[in-house]
């Protein structure tokens, strides 16, 4: 066994050695210098004036004065003199002046190597990334912010999502318990889509934007248009539901031909209207009135209209229209009546229509 340890060159106490405390204290001194190693600076080539006991530096290239010939060594001011330790490969040191770590590679002090994130196959934050999800994060909040001009940026933040071809997918998927509930983006085409699902299996488009025309389509917006396919006879001076019994289109199946009425599938604002055409009957001077009624009882304000002039068979008509705030399940029907005498409204030319607008 040699006289010093292999790693830190700590002196050993020899058998029968006198004044063992000297050797022991020298070992403690070296440990005090090297354990939790930190230096004041690593850029100085000359010793500072009036150093404090225990001051430590890494001697920069071109050492001078008491540091001449000690480039790269650890300089320690101890007991009024500068002492020097030769670093070995793997020594780590914190440089206080620069708030930086340096590592000795056997030849010189260098900055420690960092992980290169420029081409890593996967990254997991708070979770394990997988082949299906090579970038994965398990978080409760996240922030993306632009680099400001004061920090060398331009103040903007642009997030790009690119796909290879027109029939590929580029978008966002929203899930509950890892079961898909909504998507928006370019899925399977170049149309921008907002899609919703109640169960992760059945999907409906709520919004589709055509890339060529920029026309916005709401394919499942509640809307309908329906007509009566026969002349309705209306009694005199009595409001009567018009038998609108044939739907020309009927999204969400919100219009019921069996009850001749529209039922709001969800609450909101609806634009509703109707057109009635007079059909000559036994009393051509009968005067026609019309209105829209909610739940069979409440007239929608602004929808009552009356034709008071001479009637012309299948030409005299009334048009009514209004916006109504409906609750889910509210029904709307078209009612009409004749003044003083019975009369008819014409088949195919009497219609009721509506759609949700808000």
- Region 263-292 average pLDDT: 89
With respect to residue 232, please indicate whether it lies within any of the assigned structural domains.
yes
pLDDT of residue 30: 67
- Is the Cβ–Cβ distance between 328 and 268 less than 8 Å? no
How confident is the model at residue 36, as a pLDDT? Answer: 76
CA distance 346 to 358: 32
What is the predicted pLDDT for the residue at 114?
77
Domain boundary residue, one of 187, 217, 247: 217
CA distance 206 to 194: 6
333 within a domain of the structure (yes/no): yes
Instruction: Give the residue carrying structure tokens 């040699």.
Output: 2
**Do 319 and 263 reside in the same domain of the chain?**
yes
Same domain for 331 and 281 = yes
Is the same domain home to 210 and 255? no
pLDDT at position 308 is: 79
Mean pLDDT over the full length of the chain: 90
The answer to the question of residue 142 being in a domain is no
Our count of domains for the chain comes to 3
Residues 6+ apart with CB under 8 A from 114: none
Residue-wise pLDDT tens digits, 53-78: 889 999 999 999 999 999 999 999 98
Query: What pLDDT score does 33 carry?
Result: 66
Is the confidence at residue 355, as pLDDT, over 90? yes
Both 302 and 201 in a single domain?
no
Per-residue model confidence (pLDDT) at position 307: 86
- Residues 236-269: tens digit of each pLDDT: 899 999 999 999 999 989 999 999 999 999 999 9
Instruction: Tell me the percentage of the chain whose pLDDT exceeds 70.
Output: 91
Indicate if 228 and 343 belong to the same structural domain. yes
Please, is 241 exposed, middle or buried when counting C-beta atoms within 10 Å of its C-beta (0-12, 13-18, 19+)? middle
With a cut of 70, say whether residue 29 has pLDDT above it: no
112 secondary structure, DSSP code = P
CA 120 to CA 140: how far, in whole Å? 24
The answer to whether position 72 is within a domain reads: yes
CA distance 310 to 103: 104
Cα dihedral 303, 306, 307, 313 in deg (nearest 10):
70
7, part of any domain = no
* Residue 116: pLDDT band with limits 50, 70, 90: confident
pLDDT in tens, 186-235: 999 999 999 999 999 999 999 999 999 999 999 989 999 999 999 999 88
* pTM for the predicted model, two decimal places: 0.60
Task: List all residues 6 or more positions away from 2 whose beta carbon is below 8 Å from its beta carbon.
Answer: 12
Residues 185, 242, single domain; the answer is: no
Least confident of 59-63, 112-116, 292-296: 112-116
Higher pLDDT, 172 or 1: 172
- What are the Cα distances from residue 298, in Å, to 293, 320, 324? 5, 16, 11
Pair 173, 251 in one domain:
no
- What does the alpha-carbon distance between residue 257 and residue 245 come to, in Å, rounded to a whole number? 4
Where are any strands of DSSP class E within 27-147? Answer: 38-39, 56-58, 74-78, 81-85, 92-95, 100-104, 109-110, 123-125, 135-137
Tokens of 247: 């739907």
User: Within this chain, do residues 190 and 288 fall inside the same structural domain, yes or no?
Assistant: no
Distance, CA of 181 to CA of 204 (rounded, Å): 10
Q: What is the pLDDT at residue 79?
A: 87
- Domain of residue 248, CATH code: 2.60.120.40
Same domain, 255 and 340: yes
- The two tokens of residue 226 are 């329906």
Query: What pLDDT, on the 0 to 100 scale, is given for residue 78?
Result: 87
* Inside any domain, residue 135: no
275 & 194 share domain: no
Residues 201 and 332: their CA atoms lie apart, in Å, by 33
Alpha helices (runs of H) in the chain, residue ranges in sequence order: 20-34
In which residue are the tokens 């009567």 written? 240
Which alpha helices (H) appear in 20-148, and where do they start and end?
20-34
Run of H or E including 244: none
> Do the domain assignments include residue 65?
yes
pLDDT of 158 above 90: yes
Among 195, 217, 239, which residue terminates a domain? Answer: 217
Q: Tell me: do 185 and 248 sit in the same domain.
A: no
Residue ending a domain, choose from 66, 95, 110: 110
Average pLDDT in the 12-30 region? Answer: 66
Within this chain, do residues 88 and 206 fall inside the same structural domain, yes or no?
no
pLDDT at 167 over 80: yes
Residue 318, in any domain of the structure? yes
Boundaries of domain holding 259:
223-356
């Amino acid at each position: 066994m040699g006289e010093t340890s292999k790693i830190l060159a700590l002196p050993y106490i020899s058998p029968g050695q006198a004044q063992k405390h000297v050797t022991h204290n020298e070992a403690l001194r070296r440990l005090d210098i090297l354990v939790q190693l930190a230096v004041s600076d690593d850029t100085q080539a000359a010793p500072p004036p009036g150093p404090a006991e225990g001051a430590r530096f890494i001697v920069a290239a071109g050492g001078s004065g008491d540091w001449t010939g000690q480039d790269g060594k650890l300089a320690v001011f101890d007991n009024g003199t500068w002492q020097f330790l030769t670093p070995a490969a793997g020594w780590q040191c914190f440089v206080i002046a620069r708030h930086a770590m340096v590592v000795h590679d056997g030849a010189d002090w260098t900055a420690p190597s960092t992980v290169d994130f420029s081409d890593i196959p996967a990254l997991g934050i708070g979770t394990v990334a997988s082949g299906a999800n090579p970038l994965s994060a398990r978080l409760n909040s996240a922030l993306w912010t632009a680099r400001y001009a004061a920090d060398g940026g331009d103040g903007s933040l642009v997030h790009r999502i690119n796909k290879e071809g027109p029939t590929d997918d580029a978008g966002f998927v929203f899930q509950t318990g890892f079961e898909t509930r909504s998507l928006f983006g370019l899925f399977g085409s170049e149309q921008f889509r907002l899609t919703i699902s109640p169960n992760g299996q059945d999907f409906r488009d709520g919004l589709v934007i055509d890339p060529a025309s920029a026309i916005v389509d709401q394919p499942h917006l509640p809307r309908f248009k329906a007509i009566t396919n026969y002349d309705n006879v209306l009694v005199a001076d009595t409001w009567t539901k018009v038998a609108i019994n044939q739907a020309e289109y009927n999204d969400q199946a919100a219009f019921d031909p069996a009850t001749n009425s529209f039922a709001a599938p969800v609450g909101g604002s609806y634009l509703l209207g109707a057109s009635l055409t007079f059909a000559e009957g036994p009393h051509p001077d009968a005067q026609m009135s019309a209105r829209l009624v909610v739940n069979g009882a409440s007239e929608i304000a602004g929808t009552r209209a009356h034709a008071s002039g001479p009637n012309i068979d299948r030409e005299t008509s009334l048009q009514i229209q209004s916006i109504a705030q409906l609750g889910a399940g509210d029904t709307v029907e078209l009612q009409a009546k004749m003044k003083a005498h019975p009369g008819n409204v014409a088949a195919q030319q009497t219609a009721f229509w509506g759609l949700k607008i808000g």
